[in-house]
Amino acid sequence: MQPVSRTLALALIGLFAAAAFGFLLKLMYDMSQSMSYMTRDIASMATDIRGMGEDMHRMGQDITALAEQVNGIRGSVDVMASDMRGMRTSVDRMAGIISAGGKQIQEMNPMGVMQQIMPPGR
């Protein structure tokens, strides 16, 4: 029975070798698929990063335009502040004139003026 057991042992060794070879083939295939997915992901990230760079450039341009607009608004506010100061000065002058006019009217004694204009006896 030795020839049968030797043949059986060789068959078992061959079966184990075939199983190990199949396992290695499956492992290599899985690794190849993983590398393929990883390569695809890295390419996608590179595209995303390139897109982000373009977005950042556009955002930088937008920020520059916004800064220019803010400077324009600041200039307008400065002009408005100057106009408001001028208006306040004018209002203060008008208040002074009105106050002076009121004092003149009080000094004139409007009732006395009216009595002088009206004929006596009425």
User: Which two tokens mark 108?
Assistant: 């004139």
Distance CA 103, CA 47 (A): 82
Distance CA 76, CA 83 (A): 10
Q: Has residue 16 got a pLDDT over 90?
A: yes
Q: What is the pLDDT of residues 76-104, one digit of tens each?
A: 998 998 889 988 888 888 888 888 777 77
70-76: average pLDDT: 90
Q: Please report the pLDDT score of residue 58 as a whole number.
A: 87
Q: Has residue 24 got a pLDDT over 80?
A: yes
Q: Among positive and negative, which fits the CA dihedral 17, 18, 23, 25? A: positive
Q: Has residue 1 got a pLDDT over 60?
A: no
Q: CA-based angle 9:11:14, to the nearest 5?
A: 110
